[in-house]
């Protein structure tokens, strides 16, 4: 079995509650979505790795946590299922970054994942269709692990989408952290007038709401 990988590199985690932690990132090629703000979906180049080859490349970076990112890593769930037990045996913590709709793929790898960073896509942010039901089904499984939610907001984001996302999370567990992430275009963080309103609206339903920008873009690191 081979995996399609865009890049492997060590850096700091730039998003969410683990911001600032050093991790090795394995960026998987391809995605099942096409968010308007995405800087990954236009990439066409990838390298192919065998199971052993990818494990050794990740271990060689010398970090304690591997972030499986993309694209959408769960599109290659069968490959992940083969390598994650080996990475865990070698002492790595597994941090999965996912767009949060591929429940059946998640179930294949769930036992070997430690932390799930799950997007809830807001249609007014992505410029695409809604995934409310798929997100809800995914989160009902993901909650068995450490999970937090990340929703990207843009100047076009509607308050009603924030309310739907917070309500979806509340229906599963109101203690799940909910991160509002202002969008970055070309490494610039967009100013968003309604951030306070978005925060207050989510906080009315959930216990742990935070606004965290993409810190790696502020710092100018990968
Ligand atoms: S889900 Fe993530 S990788 Fe896929 S198109 Fe959206 S932002 Fe890009």
Q: 155-187, pLDDT tens digit by residue?
A: 999 999 999 999 999 999 999 999 999 998 766
Q: Is the per-residue pLDDT at 209 higher than 80?
A: yes
CB 97 within 8 A of CB 181: no
- Asked whether the whole model's pTM tops 0.75, one would answer yes
Q: Which residues contact 86 (CB under 8 A, 6 or more apart)?
A: 51, 55
Contact 184, 214 (CB under 8 A): yes
Q: Fill in the DSSP letter of residue 1.
A: -
Tokens 């692990």, residue located: 145
The CATH code of the domain at 2-219 is: 3.20.20.70
* CB-based pocket (< 6 A), ligand 1: 31, 33-35, 38, 40-41, 70-72, 99
The rounded Å distance from CA 33 to ligand 1 centre is: 6
Task: Say how far apart CA 119 and CA 98 lie, in whole Å.
Answer: 6
- Candidate of 33, 75, 120 to mutate for ligand 1, largest count of ligand atoms within 8 Å of Cβ: 33
Any idea how long the chain is? Answer: 222
């Amino acid at each position: 079995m081979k995996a399609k990988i865009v890049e492997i590199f060590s850096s700091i985690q730039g998003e969410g509650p683990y911001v600032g932690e050093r991790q090795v990132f394995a960026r998987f090629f391809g995605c099942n979505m096409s968010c308007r703000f995405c800087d990954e979906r236009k990439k066409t180049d990838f390298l192919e790795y065998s199971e052993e080859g990818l494990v050794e490349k990740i271990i060689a970076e010398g970090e304690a946590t591997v972030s499986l990112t993309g694209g959408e890593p769960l599109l290659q769930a069968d490959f992940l299922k083969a390598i994650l037990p080996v990475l865990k045996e070698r002492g790595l913590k597994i941090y999965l970054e996912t767009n949060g709709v591929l429940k059946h793929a998640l179930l294949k790898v769930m036992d070997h994942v430690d932390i799930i960073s799950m997007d809830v896509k807001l249609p007014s942010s992505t410029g695409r269709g809604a995934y409310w039901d798929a997100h809800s089904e995914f989160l009902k499984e993901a909650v068995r692990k450490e999970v937090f939610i990340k929703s990207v907001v843009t100047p076009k984001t509607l308050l009603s989408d924030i309310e739907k996302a917070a309500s979806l999370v509340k229906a599963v567990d109101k203690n799940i952290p909910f991160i509002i992430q202002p969008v970055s275009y070309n490494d610039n963080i967009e100013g968003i007038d309604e951030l306070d309103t978005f925060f207050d609206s989510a906080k009315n339903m959930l216990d742990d709401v935070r606004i965290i920008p993409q810190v790696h873009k502020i710092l100018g690191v990968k």
